[in-house]
Structure 1
Amino acid sequence: MSAEEPLFRVVRGVPTAEELAALVGAIVVRSRPAAAPAAATTASAWVRSGRPGSSSGWRTAGLPR
């Protein structure tokens, strides 16, 4: 592919400038590698205490002993 060739072309219809901008934005976002969100990788102790398998924490605090 040479430098003069477009990366994509419209083969049917006549898109508006806004529609083309939305398409380019979607292509750019999809072409980037996905980054793991920082908050999802480290859970607080409070969040971990409510997960299944935890024998202590806020979920079991109200259960009879």
Structure 2
Amino acid sequence: MTVGSKVKQTVASLRGCEATLRLYSLQERDKEARLIYTEAFEEISKIKTCLEERVSSIEFEEPQYKGN
């Protein structure tokens, strides 16, 4: 497995984590727990954005990874 495909796989996993945390934050009744889920969602979102930028960089530097 190439670095590019590993990073893309990680981004996909983070999208799943993001969705799960968002769902938990919407369903949670306890305000403190809701805040914790929301903060975790936001942090995962930042990390995902950074990795998406890295994917773009990898694809630019190594065109053979584009679309994989």
TM-score by length of 1: 0.29
Larger radius of gyration: 1
Greater fraction helix: 2
Of structures 1 and 2, the one scoring higher in RCO (CA 8 A, sep 6+) is: 2
TM-score by length of 2: 0.28
